């Protein structure tokens, strides 16, 4: 008998009409993330079972803790359907857990098993009380000992590993994440993934002003995010010519405003090509001059695509806390310069005016530069496995 991992669904259980779609998407994502293992998935309306070989059980459970749409993960231990064997296995499992009170919950899926569930609860409960110093509490026990009697054998389980919740990635379609090497945008990407948005990443690089290390840092961040997705791509935009043209033609204080308007235009045009419905970025209100509300509205003016800013209303410390939790923080703080910081003017405008921005843009032919830039985007996909080696 193989080991089973039982999965309880996350928020998707509340979506009645779309339930099937959600469950199928989750199963597909699990299948993809576990493509290197031999597994079998059985699913119903309330849970999913994954059959897996015993030696991989811990590894697989760990991968499942990164998959959105999972509320909890339970490792079920198999045993022959034989009362003595079940008693023995129950004690073995309970000795590894610390608890004072418990209850037994038997589910007799195989009705050919002769002892009714309630009676079996008493048989097993009595055996536990005889061998372990503890009490029964049916209302609020420290642990619930679950015994599931099925045709192929019996499964016993106690504790649940918490999943990360959210919606299965992809259920909402795709977004284009503007991914820099900073702290904020990877967190923004994670939060979008959590709500079921699959992401592709867009990184603007300006060699030789920005280094190969800066690019590898972004690829590494994308690889870390990929643990939560499985299908992330990084699109590297050759941004040097545009940045140099901006630098040459636009007054200092508006360099960042114009640069970001052009980034948005590229994100929209290329995002549409990649079938993305939204742009996602790591802007946070008031954090820098280009993120005041006035700046945001002047920059946002160039696109009709919805721009989602998941960290817009978080404090930097809150963003850092999430970055640490999801594993991007240590990489984000590596000191390689980004194109935004290299060309940073001394006094960027805090309250830009739209007509001025438009006027400065008319000083150079940004449209053909954008076309050329989009034609030369490099796509990186093969980072998935070895991101540890990138830097
Ligand atoms: P982050 O910490 O994510 O770098 P930030 O606080 O440094 O953000 P900005 O540099 O103003 O802020 O950038 C705001 C957002 O614009 C970033 O979160 C990211 O989404 C996007 N962005 C900035 N630079 C780049 C880049 N080189 N490539 C892709 N996106 C970028
Ligand atoms: Mg940045």
Q: How far is the CA of 53 from the centre of ligand 1 (A)?
A: 43
Per-residue pLDDT of 343-376, as tens digits, reads 778 889 999 999 999 999 999 999 999 999 999 9
Per-residue pLDDT of 195-237, as tens digits, reads 999 999 999 999 998 999 999 999 999 999 999 998 899 999 9
Q: What average pLDDT does the structure give for the chain?
A: 92
Element (H, E) at 136: strand 135-136
The answer to whether 121 and 106 have CB atoms below 8 angstroms apart is yes
Q: Which letter, b or e, does each residue of 28-39 get, where b requires 16 or more Cβ atoms within 10 Å of its Cβ? A: ebbeebbeeeeb
CA atoms within 13 A on the CB side of 195: 12
Q: Of all protein residues, whose CA lies closest to atom 14 belonging to ligand 1?
A: 283
Q: Could you say which ligand is closest to the alpha carbon of residue 204?
A: 1
- Strand 198-205 to 174-178 pairing: parallel
Q: How far is the CA of 380 from the centre of ligand 1 (A)?
A: 19
Q: How far is the CA of 151 from the centre of ligand 1 (A)?
A: 55
- Dihedral of CA atoms 150, 155, 156, 160 in degrees, nearest 10, equals -110
- Is 178's C-beta closer than 6 angstroms to any atom of ligand 1? yes
Q: Could you say which ligand is closest to the alpha carbon of residue 183?
A: 1
Q: How far is the CA of 178 from the centre of ligand 2 (A)?
A: 10
Residue 141 binned pLDDT confidence (cut-offs 50, 70, 90): very high
**Burial class of residue 45 in the structure, from the number of CB atoms within 10 Å of its CB (0-12 exposed, 13-18 middle, 19+ buried):** exposed
Per the structure block, which two tokens stand in for 24?
Answer: 């199928």
Q: Name the residue of 184, 216, 295 whose CB sits within 8 Å of the most ligand 1 atoms, as the mutation to test its pocket.
A: 184
- Is 290's C-beta closer than 6 angstroms to any atom of ligand 1? yes
- Comparing C-alpha atoms, which of 290, 285, 284 is closest to residue 263? 290
């Amino acid at each position: 008998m193989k080991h089973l991992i039982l999965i309880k669904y996350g928020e998707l259980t509340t979506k009645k009409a779309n339930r099937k779609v959600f469950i199928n998407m989750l199963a597909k994502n699990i299948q993809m993330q576990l493509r290197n293992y031999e597994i079998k998935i059985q699913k119903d309306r309330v849970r999913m079972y994954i059959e897996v070989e015993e030696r991989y059980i811990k590894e697989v459970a760990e991968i499942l803790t990164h998959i959105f749409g999972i509320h909890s993960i339970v490792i079920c231990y198999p045993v022959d359907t034989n009362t003595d064997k079940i008693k023995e296995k129950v004690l073995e499992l309970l000795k590894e857990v610390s608890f004072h009170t418990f209850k037994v919950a038997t589910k007799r899926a195989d009705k050919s098993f002769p002892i009714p569930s309630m009676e079996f609860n008493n048989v097993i409960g009595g055996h536990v009380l005889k061998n372990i110093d503890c009490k029964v509490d049916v209302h609020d026990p420290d642990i619930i000992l679950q015994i599931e009697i099925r045709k192929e054998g019996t499964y016993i389980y106690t504790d649940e590993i918490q999943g990360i919740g959210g919606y299965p990635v992809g259920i909402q379609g795709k977004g284009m994440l503007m991914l820099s090497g900073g702290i904020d945008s990877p967190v923004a990407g994670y939060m979008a993934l959590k709500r079921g948005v699959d992401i592709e990443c867009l990184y603007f690089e300006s060699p030789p002003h920005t280094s190969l290390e800066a690019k590898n840092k972004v690829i590494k961040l994308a690889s870390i995010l990929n643990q939560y997705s499985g299908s992330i791509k990084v699109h590297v935009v050759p941004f040097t010519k545009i940045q140099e043209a901006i630098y040459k033609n636009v007054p200092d204080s508006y360099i960042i405003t114009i640069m970001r308007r052009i980034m948005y235009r590229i994100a929209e045009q290329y995002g549409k090509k990649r079938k993305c419905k939204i742009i996602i970025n790591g802007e946070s209100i008031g954090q820098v001059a280009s993120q005041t509300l006035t700046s945001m509205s002047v920059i946002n003016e160039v696109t009709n695509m919805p721009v989602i800013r998941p960290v817009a209303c978080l404090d930097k410390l809150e963003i850092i806390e999430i970055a640490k939790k999801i594993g991007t923080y240590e990489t984000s703080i590596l000191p390689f310069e980004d194109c935004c910081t290299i060309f940073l003017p001394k006094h960027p405008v805090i309250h830009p005016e739209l007509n001025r921005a438009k006027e400065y843009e008319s000083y150079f032919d940004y449209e053909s530069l954008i076309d050329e830039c989009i034609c030369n985007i490099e796509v990186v996909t093969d980072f998935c496995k070895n991101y540890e080696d990138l830097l």
